[in-house]
Amino acid sequence: MQYAYKERSSDEILLFNSDDRLVMSNTAKAGSPLFPEDELKEGVSLSELAGASVRAGLVPSACGREEAWLDEFLARHRHPGNELIVLTSDARTCSLMVQPTTDGEMFLVIKDISALSAQAAIACESAQRRVDFAETAADWMWEIDEKTKFTVLTQPGVSDILVADLLGQKFLELPFLAMAEAERRQIAEKLAERQAFRDLRLQYTQDEQSWALSLSGKPFFSENGEYRGHRGTFRDVTRDVRAQRELMEAKDHAEVGSRSKSEFLAHMSHELRSPLNAILGFSEIMSMGLYGKIEQPKYLEYVDTTHESGAHLLSIINDILDISRIESGKVELNEQDVDLEGLFESCLNLIGGRASEAGHTVQGQLMPEMPQLWADERLTKQILINLLGNAVKFTPYGGRITLGVEVTARACVRFWVSDNGPGMSQEDQARALIPFDRGSAMTKSETQGAGLGLPLCKMLAELRGGQLTLENNAAGGLTVSVEYPIERTIETKVSAHA
């Protein structure tokens, strides 16, 4: 039976008699990784075989200490059951075991365990990698059993939080983990229902210090599907929570400041508008000579200048009031189906007189079969009149101004006002959308303006999802567009204006 086992085994097996001399071996089929094949002859002693291996350089670890290695090898051979691991010159890892027989002989079994050794090294490296990650991570890694008792809890490597001896304690009964009742119930339900959870927030208190923690975990099971517990991480999010709280406080302060500014501007504007209305009314009466004609032409000129300046100031105050109402959310919208043809015609009529006085030509471009627009008609008209007024104001004498409306490829209604004026640099385009910032080009211009027209148009357009854009024309001048989102386009068609 012993001989049959020797023949069938894939290991190298050498049988030695009681005098440690070779009786037989099975190395002829595969060759021996440890002993020279020409030395494997019946009757050779084990010490001679081992010496030949050392002299042939088959055992790198014996180099320079041949006699000591031979003594260690023979000593192990005389104590059956002890395993000797040998690394051979061809980089194989071999396990040597001595198994005595009942008649005084001994088997020397040489097993190639190179694959097992490599797998063990990989497993060891993987385990060390996990240890390194755990020691350097900012998170606590935890594990609880099916009774919610801690079985594993790592100390964060880069945290100020000191982990007490929590092993064996129940997670939900820890006195220094503060959480709202709703959160405690949620975590308890997740654990009871064997569910995963992520970023549940709780408070950790220790030595009069508190930290905000984010809790994440998932269940784990045995090979047969039996629930074994949960494992996961605690993350210190104290800095994030503090930064978020400070950001919210700063936002609240900014909103309070903005509301105070808007309320102040609105109040002052109302206070200024009452006397301005009186100035405008009386100057208009004087200009018309209702109570007697003014004989001196210079006085009449002064009256007209007073009326014109008052009207300009009132326009600025009205813009300030509009901006204040938008910023404070007090704009009331009266949305309805807007007839684009009628709106288009009304805007051209209103701007025509001012454009003629400035020597400009104003034309309209209206696509045929235009849909209707769901919007506040008054505010939409205010946007277009402001844009047309800007074009009239900043285009040199004799300019060309165009008001257009079209439906884009995305079925959005788009208004645009184009002129052949000086245009604006990219920097000035950005500055022109900031209230009271007229930009360098407008600052150099002799034309009056407070820098509120374009910002007000932008705010009005954005009240219901519109977008205002500025773009220089290739041939010179500027085009300002206002595009409304597709949901404001109504498919009912109207005929184009002839």
> How confident is the model over 447-492, as pLDDT tens digits?
555 677 888 889 888 888 899 999 998 888 899 999 999 888 886 4
Q: Are residues 226 and 170 in the same domain?
A: yes
Q: How far apart are CA 232 and CA 220, in angstroms?
A: 10
Buried b (16+ CB within 10 A) or exposed e, 33-42: bbbeeebbee
Q: What is the average per-residue pLDDT within 149-177?
A: 69
Task: Using the predicted structure, report yes or no on whether residue 146 has a pLDDT greater than 50.
Answer: yes
163: confidence class by pLDDT, cuts 50, 70, 90: low
pLDDT (0 to 100) of residue 8: 43
Q: In this predicted structure, what is the pLDDT of residue 402? A: 92
Give tens-digit pLDDT for 34-65.
888 888 888 888 888 888 888 888 888 888 88
Q: Does residue 123 fall inside a structural domain?
A: no
Q: What is the mean pLDDT of the chain?
A: 80
Indicate whether 377 belongs to any domain.
yes
The mean per-residue pLDDT over the stretch 225-231 comes to 91
Residue 439 — φ and ψ, nearest 5°?
A: 80, 160
Per-residue pLDDT of 122-138, as tens digits, reads 777 776 666 666 555 66
Choose the final residue of a domain: 209, 236, 263: 236
Q: Which domain holds residue 267?
A: 243-327
**Residue 289 forms part of a structural domain:** yes
**pLDDT at 122 (0 to 100):** 75
Percent above pLDDT 90 for the chain: 9
Q: Is the pLDDT of residue 211 over 60?
A: yes
For the residues of 85-120, what is the DSSP string, one character each? Answer: EEE-TTS-EEEEEEEE-TTS-EEEEEEE-HHHHHHH
401 pLDDT band (50/70/90 cuts)? very high
The pLDDT confidence band at residue 160, using thresholds 50, 70 and 90, is low
**Crossing angle for the helix pair 377-394 and 453-462, to the nearest 10 degrees:** 150
- Helices (H), ranges, 162-296: 181-192, 238-288
**Where residue 440 falls among pLDDT bands split at 50, 70, 90?**
low
Average pLDDT of the segment spanning 431-455 = 67
Same domain, 358 and 292: no
485 domain residue, yes or no? yes
| Alpha-carbon span 122 to 114, nearest angstrom | 12
Do 311 and 192 share a structural domain?
no
> Considering 236, 255, 272, which residue would you say is the last residue of a domain?
236
Are 392 and 412 in contact, with CB atoms under 8 Å apart? no
d(CA 279, CA 302): 13
Instruction: CATH number of the domain at 53, please.
Output: 3.30.450.20
Please determine, for residue 274, whether its predicted confidence score (pLDDT) is greater than 50: yes
What is the per-residue pLDDT across 338-358, written as a single tens digit (0 to 9) for each? Answer: 888 888 888 888 888 888 888
Region 438-446: mean pLDDT is 54
User: Could you tell me if 386 and 407 lie in one domain?
Assistant: yes
Residue 128 belongs to a domain: no
Q: Given this model, what pLDDT does residue 162 score?
A: 53
- CA–CA separation, 32 and 40 (whole Å): 9
| Residues 447 and 470 placed together within one structural domain of the fold | yes
Instruction: List CB contacts of 243: < 8 A, sequence separation 6 or more.
Output: none
Tell whether 354 and 280 lie within a shared domain: no
Q: Is the same domain home to 478 and 364? A: yes
**Please, are residues 139 and 234 in contact by the beta-carbon 8 Å criterion?**
yes
Whether 248 and 194 share a structural domain:
no
Q: Is 11 helix (H, G, I), strand (E, B) or coil?
A: coil
* 3-state class (DSSP) for residue 465: coil
Burial call 278-306: b when 16+ CB within 10 Å, e when fewer: ebbeebbebeeeeeeeeeeeeeeeebeeb
Question: How many Å apart are CA 479 and CA 472, to the nearest integer?
Answer: 6
Residue 301 and residue 323 share a domain: yes
In the prediction, which pLDDT does 360 show?
92
Query: Residues 2, 15: contact at Cβ < 8 Å?
Result: yes
Whats the size of the chain, residue-wise? 498
Is 405 part of a structural domain of the chain? Answer: yes
Rounded to an integer, the average pLDDT of 102-106 is 83
Query: Domain check: are 81 and 191 in the same one?
Result: no
Final residue in a domain of this structure, among 203, 236, 269: 236
Q: Is the separation of the CB atoms in 347 and 403 below 8 Å?
A: yes
pLDDT at 328 over 60: yes
How many domains would you assign to the chain? 4
220 pLDDT band, cuts 50/70/90, is very high
Residue 127 included in any domain: no
Residue 415 has a pLDDT of 92
Compute and round to an integer the Cα radius of gyration of the chain. Answer: 46
User: Which CATH number do you get for residue 341?
Assistant: 3.30.565.10
* pLDDT tens digits along 14-28: 888 888 888 888 875
Average pLDDT over residues 205-214: 75
pLDDT at 30: 56
Question: φ and ψ at 72, to 5 degrees?
Answer: -65, -40
Looking at the predicted structure, is the pLDDT value of residue 235 above 60? yes
CATH number for position 305: 1.10.287
Residues 388 and 431 in one domain: yes
Residue 52 inside a domain? The answer is yes
Please check the confidence at residue 161 and state whether its pLDDT lies above 60. no
pTM equals 0.46
Sign of CA dihedral 390, 391, 397, 403: negative
Kindly state whether residues 463 and 364 are assigned to the same domain. yes
